[in-house]
A and B are shown apart, each in its own frame.
Chain A
Amino acid sequence: MLALLAAAGATVGRADPPTEDKELNLIPPSSETPPADAAPVASGALQRIFLEDAVTGSWLGSDLLPAPPPPPQPRWEERALLDVRSEWRAGDDLRLTYSGRLNLRAEDGLGFPSHENLTNDLREAYLGWEPLNQLFLDVGRINLKSGVALGFNPTDFFKTRAVVEPLSVDPVVLREDRLGTLMLRAERVWAKGSLTAVYAPAVSSDSPIYTSFDLRSFDPMFDRTNAHDRWLLKGIVDVAEGFSPELLAYESQRRVRFGANLAENVGQSVVAYLEWSGGRRGTVSDEALAFGQATGSLPAAAGNVLPGLGAVAFRNQVAAGASYTTALPKITFNLELLYSEAGFTGADWDEWFRTGSATGASSPIAGALWYVRQYAADQQDLISRRFAFLRLDWVDALVPKLEVSGFAETDLVDGSTRLQLGADYYLSDRWTVGGLILIDSGGRHSDFGSLPQAGSVLLKVVRYL
């Protein structure tokens, strides 16, 4: 009988006690006690508010050709800011969104006290209404962004002139800290896709490019975002499981641009993506010089400073890349090739440096040459024709709660490179400390090697409220 019972229970054994005990011992004893602040999770308003203090020190390039026009690049900046992003619900169908940043800043060459020490960036303020299920109508200043790439977004049509005094040149950060556009947006989301229509009216007119010394304190600066009537129509369609391309059509100043965004998983660790836009436009030089003349920043004769750089034609812009994530360590790499048919070729750069070398520091020609580069940056356009962009994000880098991110952007026309590496350490749920270092390198007659700022270091502390 006992033998039978033993046989019947043969499969009923004890797991290896040492292994079992070892794994049970990994359970934190304090986990038995629930956290003291265990309030219900779901709350009405979604908001993120933080205070940040950041100090930046820069070192400058020397013996630049052509000499950049004033004002000189600041050697240091101290900024304290209050950043607010909040959404409130008014009933089931109405939603109010506000996003803004109040800056208190001092920097090399900026008088103190002056109204420019205090600026407010009104990024978003709009009312959203859902009159029918999955039909959304929004009106107000809205930050509408598009694009699957990280280094450059050809389909992000509302990015132009929208970035205000960023603390980092990381393209990912530039997407976050920018002004929205006053617009009316209608969006319908279905089970198999979505359609969005946008109208952004002209309520102001073009203004000269801002520098850090002529920002307005409390001004929505619609001249940057709503100087022209603009239209956008975009749609997403589920073509196959997980494959849902986005198509866009955009109109501004009687010119239409088309765009597309594609992204697809390749295996378990890779996402491949492609972003394209195309339409009739001038080269970045042509557009810059025309804009400078129209806003009175450049004399009428400035149009001849860089002759023969192309007229209006159908021009393509492309960002093609892939992300790759490693299991351990937890790093995500993004490698992209960026292309703009409107950007400088090698011959254009040669012409830029040749013309600049022959002018004096106070020459209007030098001013016009630098204006082209300022314009490209203001428009968030590519100044050169081809770039390679590599970005990494490393979560729990070496120690838990340390996040390291950085990017390298190489101008493939001349081989010059911009390199930035940053780290954020989450001291707690509320406190974050971080820093970053930026280095521009390259030959004297190269894109990044000829910039007034050769590098910078930033240190910051953030307190979430």
Chain B
Amino acid sequence: MKYSKQLMAILAMALWLGMAAVAEAQSASEIVAATDKVRNPGQPFRSTLRLTEYVGGQERDHDSLVVYSKEDGATRQFRNLVQYVEPARDTGKRVLLDGHSLWFYDPNSKVSVRISAQQRLIGQAAIGDILTVNLGADYASSIVGTETIDDATRQPRKCWHLELKASNDLATYNRVEYWVEQGSFYPIKGKFYADSGRLLKIVYFRKFAQQLGAVRPTEAIIIDAVDSSLATTATLGEYAYQEIPEAWFQRDYLPHLQAK
């Protein structure tokens, strides 16, 4: 009996060490690539994004967006076309987010205006951009350590704590802290920083569900770190694979884009 207990303890230790070794064997870039795949399907797709803004904990505004996403084979980054459906004052506005090519189309003025990387962060379309960004393409990553943190539902999750630094000028944020659950590669939490080092946004991912052949987060909570009374929940839905021709990423296509 005593022998058997010792054997069990040794086996448990071996298993623990083995798991730890497997975990350490994953490089930071492999982890980021794997968690990118959890968030983003491997082929062009369309999804909807329902945004609910909270001010001081109270529900304030709603925005609805349709997002068309397609990975650029050269940069491995997702290119997004975003169309506003709600609120009524923004209906029909469209944003093209394709690497350096950033254009905003307003159906009222009927012209496309080129916007800067900084300017794209002002609108709600930036949230669609955050949720589909392939972090592995634009950031150099390293493992800070392994931590158990509470997720958005206050359930403990054993995570890799990753440090991501912008590796090219396509990166929207200068630095990102990222927590990815070990084993599942689910993104659990991210902290996004400005060039100045200031924390801009804290993002929690939750409501993991089967979508387009894999379990993916279907909701993100984006907390404004500058004004912590502001928070937005982004609910992803209506996922569907969709053919997205290259011509859609021309700014002259923006007036013709219409959610079907």
List residues of chain A with CB under 8 Å of any chain B CB: 1, 4-5, 8-9, 11-15, 20-21, 23-24, 26-31, 34-35, 37-38, 40-43, 46-50, 85, 87, 89, 92, 95, 130, 133-134, 136, 143-148, 172, 175-176, 187, 189-194, 196, 236, 238, 241-242, 244, 263-265, 267-271, 273, 323-328, 330, 332, 395, 400-401, 426, 428-430, 432, 462, 464-465
Chain A residues within 8 Å of B249, by CB: 191
B 202-235 contacts with A by CB, 8 A: 202, 204, 221, 223, 226-228, 230-231, 233, 235
Q: Are A35 and B59 touching (Cβ within 8 A)?
A: yes
Q: Are B66 and A41 touching (Cβ within 8 A)?
A: yes
Determine, out of B34-42, B110-118, B130-138, the stretch whose residues face the partner at the interface.
B110-118
Contact of A48 among B88, B117, B256 (CB under 8 A): B88
A26 to B234, CA, bound (A): 15
Chain A residues within 8 Å of B88, by CB: 48-50, 429-430, 464-465
List residues of chain B with CB under 8 Å of any chain A CB: 9, 13, 16-17, 20, 48-50, 52, 54-55, 57-62, 64-66, 85-89, 91-92, 99-102, 107-111, 113-119, 121-122, 145-150, 152, 154, 158, 161, 169, 194-196, 198, 200, 202, 204, 221, 223, 226-228, 230-231, 233, 235, 237-238, 245-247, 249-253, 256, 258-260
Q: Are A8 and B20 touching (Cβ within 8 A)?
A: yes
A37 to B61, CA, bound (A): 12
**Given that A40-B48, A244-B251 are known contacts, is A31 also in contact with B99, CB under 8 Å in the complex?**
no
Q: Are A8 and B150 touching (Cβ within 8 A)?
A: no
Q: Which are the 5 A-B pairs with shortest beta-carbon distances?
A: A242-B100, A191-B246, A41-B48, A464-B88, A194-B252
**Given that A28-B57, A31-B52, A190-B247 are known contacts, is A327 also in contact with B118, CB under 8 Å in the complex?**
yes
Chain B residues within 8 Å of A325, by CB: 115-116, 118-119, 122
Chain B residues within 8 Å of A267, by CB: 116, 169
17 contacts across the A-B interface (CB closer than 8 A) = A1-B9, A8-B17, A28-B54, A30-B59, A40-B238, A41-B238, A42-B66, A42-B259, A85-B107, A130-B256, A136-B256, A143-B110, A146-B111, A148-B114, A193-B250, A194-B252, A265-B114
Q: Are B92 and A46 touching (Cβ within 8 A)?
A: yes
Chain B residues within 8 Å of A401, by CB: 60-61
Count: A-B pairs, CB below 8 Å = 243
Q: Are A14 and B148 touching (Cβ within 8 A)?
A: yes
Residue of B nearest to A262 (CB): B114
Interface centre among A23, A87, A144, A465 (most CB of B within 10 A): A23
**Given that A50-B89, A241-B99, A400-B230 are known contacts, is A134 also in contact with B148, CB under 8 Å in the complex?**
no
User: In the complex, how many angstroms separate the beta carbon of A204 from the nearest chain B beta carbon?
Assistant: 23
Q: Are A244 and B101 touching (Cβ within 8 A)?
A: yes
Q: Are B66 and A271 touching (Cβ within 8 A)?
A: no
Chain A residues within 8 Å of B55, by CB: 400
Chain A residues within 8 Å of B196, by CB: 327
Chain B residues within 8 Å of A5, by CB: 13, 16
Q: Are A189 and B256 touching (Cβ within 8 A)?
A: yes
Q: Are B247 and A26 touching (Cβ within 8 A)?
A: no
Q: 18 additional contacts, CB 8 Å, given A38-B50, A41-B48?
A: A1-B13, A5-B13, A9-B16, A11-B145, A13-B147, A23-B202, A26-B228, A27-B204, A28-B54, A46-B91, A134-B253, A145-B110, A148-B113, A242-B101, A269-B116, A325-B115, A325-B116, A400-B55
**Given that A20-B149, A30-B58, A242-B101 are known contacts, is A265 also in contact with B116, CB under 8 Å in the complex?**
yes
Q: Are B250 and A191 touching (Cβ within 8 A)?
A: yes
Chain B residues within 8 Å of A191, by CB: 245-247, 249-250
Residue of B nearest to A46 (CB): B92
**Given that A30-B59, A95-B258, A134-B253 are known contacts, is A11 also in contact with B146, CB under 8 Å in the complex?**
yes
A175 to B110, CA, bound (A): 8
User: In the complex, how many angstroms separate the beta carbon of A434 from the nearest chain B beta carbon?
Assistant: 11
A43 to B50, CA, bound (A): 13
A310 to B151, CA, bound (A): 74
Chain A residues within 8 Å of B204, by CB: 24, 27
Residue of A nearest to B143 (CB): A11
Contact of B169 among A9, A38, A85, A268 (CB under 8 A): A268
**Given that A42-B259, A136-B256, A187-B252 are known contacts, is A464 also in contact with B101, CB under 8 Å in the complex?**
no
A429 to B88, CA, bound (A): 7
**Given that A40-B48, A145-B110, A148-B113 are known contacts, is A332 also in contact with B122, CB under 8 Å in the complex?**
yes
Residue of A nearest to B240 (CB): A42
Contact of B57 among A30, A269, A426 (CB under 8 A): A30
**Given that A12-B146, A20-B150, A89-B258 are known contacts, is A41 also in contact with B122, CB under 8 Å in the complex?**
no
Interface centre among B85, B113, B116 (most CB of A within 10 A): B116
Q: Are A26 and B231 touching (Cβ within 8 A)?
A: yes
Chain A residues within 8 Å of B246, by CB: 191
Residue of B nearest to A238 (CB): B250
Q: Are A189 and B111 touching (Cβ within 8 A)?
A: no
User: In the complex, how many angstroms separate the beta carbon of B124 from the nearest chain A beta carbon?
Assistant: 11
Chain A residues within 8 Å of B256, by CB: 130, 134, 136, 189
User: In the complex, how many angstroms separate the beta carbon of B229 from the nearest chain A beta carbon?
Assistant: 8
Q: Are A41 and B65 touching (Cβ within 8 A)?
A: yes
Residue of A nearest to B106 (CB): A176
A101 to B61, CA, bound (A): 27
Chain A residues within 8 Å of B54, by CB: 28, 30-31
**Given that A49-B88, A145-B111, A430-B88 are known contacts, is A15 also in contact with B152, CB under 8 Å in the complex?**
no
A238 to B246, CA, bound (A): 12
A361 to B87, CA, bound (A): 51
User: In the complex, how many angstroms separate the beta carbon of B31 from the nearest chain A beta carbon?
Assistant: 15
Contact of B223 among A27, A87, A89, A192 (CB under 8 A): A27
Chain B residues within 8 Å of A324, by CB: 116
Chain B residues within 8 Å of A4, by CB: 13
User: In the complex, how many angstroms separate the beta carbon of A13 from the nearest chain B beta carbon?
Assistant: 6
Contact of A236 among B17, B85, B250 (CB under 8 A): B250
A26 to B57, CA, bound (A): 8
Chain A residues within 8 Å of B110, by CB: 143-145, 175
